[in-house]
Amino acid sequence: MSVAREIAAAKINLALHVRGKLPDGRHAIETIFAFCIDGDRLSAEPAAELTLGSSGLFSPELPHSEDNLVLKAARALQEAAGANSGAAILLEKRLPVASGIGGGSADAAAALRLLTSLWNIDPAHAERVAPALGSDVPACLLSLSARGEGAGDRLQQIALPEVSGMPVLLVNPRVQLSTAEVFARWDGIDHGPLGEDWRHGRNDLQPAAVQLAPQIETVLAWLSAQIGATLVRMSGSGATCFALFDSEVPRDRAAEAVPREWWHLATSLR
Ligand SMILES: C[C@@](CO)(OP(=O)(O)O)[C@H](O)COP(=O)(O)OP(=O)(O)OC[C@H]1O[C@@H](n2ccc(N)nc2=O)[C@H](O)[C@@H]1O
Ligand SMILES: Nc1ncnc2c1ncn2[C@@H]1O[C@H](COP(=O)(O)OP(=O)(O)O)[C@@H](O)[C@H]1O
């Protein structure tokens, strides 16, 4: 039987500026999305019903399968396309849950791509259902570098030759942070737009995330002290932080030295 496979690529926000509030209560952001070559892994094969199984280090931390964004995405797509086929989906959960690197959004987007191909339906259905599944889902559906505005779902694809293929180290102090709680603690001050060069940008959610998880400052300081780290920042609403490197050797050396109680992933950007 044919098995379809997809990577739910880990997302990082190279910069994330919060500019204000939107009428729907969410926040207006300006961000640069970049994607790693690694992430969660999804596979699916045709079946009469829609089912989800999971494996992987972070599988025990996933919500009950009906609340899982993978099944929510699958049901939304089924409805939009009027498809009555099912699928047996498997999720290998390798990325920490609620960690600022896409997580559920990347899985939902990967499920949309996977089922679009398995059910042989128009990809426009996936694009239509993506925004309601989460502000980050349209970016994750694309999984290519992009500038995001609005709630993060108004996208403009951009080439980022300066980081394409660049080695990156992701580190999480093993604390889950709720995106809603972090946004709720944003100081309400517009610290200015994200200009042309994201390297001069910031992550405006960092102070709010640090209030909830002070360990983030320890991770940022640790990454900044690593030889060869050229830029260190927190991703999304945290608590995962990343360091960019010019080559793999110093990234791997840093990866080997990551304290054992933290999670890390040595990878590179697409
Ligand atoms: C902060 C970002 C940056 O890329 O990433 P993560 O930390 O989740 O990875 C995203 O904007 C997160 O997108 P996503 O994870 O899809 O969030 P959603 O499910 O849409 O929203 C969860 C909650 O976060 C808040 N939220 C989200 C997006 C936004 N622009 N403003 C908000 O205030 C709202 O309280 C919302 O109810
Ligand atoms: N497949 C999934 N992977 C991770 N989280 C999921 C998944 N499905 C649902 N969730 C829920 O979504 C929340 C993670 O969302 P969010 O905080 O936006 O994560 P992140 O910051 O990693 O993007 C978690 O609280 C989790 O309960």
Same-domain status, 171 and 146: no
Judge if 112 and 171 occupy the same domain.
no
Do 36 and 114 share a domain, yes or no? yes
Together in a domain, 107 and 216: no
Predicted local distance difference test score (pLDDT) of residue 1: 64
Residue 239 located in a structural domain: yes
What 3-state class would DSSP assign to 36?
strand
100 shares a domain with 76: yes
For ligand 1, whether the C-beta of 206 sits within 6 Å is no
User: 0.90 cut: is pTM over it?
Assistant: yes
* 139 plus 190 within the same structural domain: no
Are 71 and 128 within one domain? Answer: yes
Question: Is 20 part of any domain?
Answer: yes
Residues 135 and 180 in one domain: no
Domain assignment present for residue 261? The answer is yes
The structural domain count of the chain equals 2
127: how many CB neighbours lie within 10 A of its CB?
A: 15
Local structure of residue 203 (DSSP, 8 states) = B
Is residue 188 domain-shared with residue 115, that is, in the same domain? no
Instruction: Tell me the three state secondary structure of residue 52.
Output: strand
Tokens matching residue 113: 């791509």
The phi, psi pair for 189, rounded to 5°, reads -105, 130
Would residue 58 count as lying in a domain? Answer: yes
CA distances from 231 to 208, 220, 221 (A): 21, 10, 12
Q: Which residues are catalytic?
A: 11, 136
Instruction: Tell me, yes or no, whether 70 lies in a domain.
Output: yes
Q: Are the CB atoms for 8 and 43 separated by under 8 Å?
A: no
Q: Are residues 116 and 26 in the same domain?
A: yes
Domain boundary among 110, 130, 156: 156
Ligand nearest to the CA of 177: 2
Is 227 part of any domain? yes
Range of the domain at 216: 167-268
Q: What is the mean pLDDT of each run of 10 residues along the chain (270 residues)?
A: 91 98 97 98 96 97 93 97 94 98 96 97 98 98 98 97 97 98 97 96 98 98 98 98 98 98 98
Note the pLDDT of residue 103. 86
The answer to whether 31 touches 147, Cβ cutoff 8 Å, is yes
Q: Is 100 annotated as a binding residue?
A: yes
| Domain membership flag for residue 161 | no
Rg (CA), the chain: 18
pLDDT given at position 64: 86
**For the chain, how long is the longest CA-to-CA vector?**
55
The residue count of the chain comes to 270
Residue 254 to residue 36: CA distance in whole angstroms: 18
The closest of 246, 217, 250 to 234, measured between CA atoms, is 217
Q: Going by CA atoms, what residue is nearest to atom 24 of ligand 1?
A: 180
Ligand 2: which residues within 6 Å by Cβ? 62-63, 68-70, 97-105, 107, 178-179, 236-237
The pair of structure tokens assigned to 42 is: 């999804």
Q: Is residue 96 part of a domain?
A: yes
Other CB atoms within a 10 A radius of the CB of residue 200 amount to 9
Residues 150 and 200 in one domain: no
The minimum-distance atom of ligand 2 relative to the CA of 178 is: 17
On whether both 141 and 8 belong to a single domain, the answer is yes
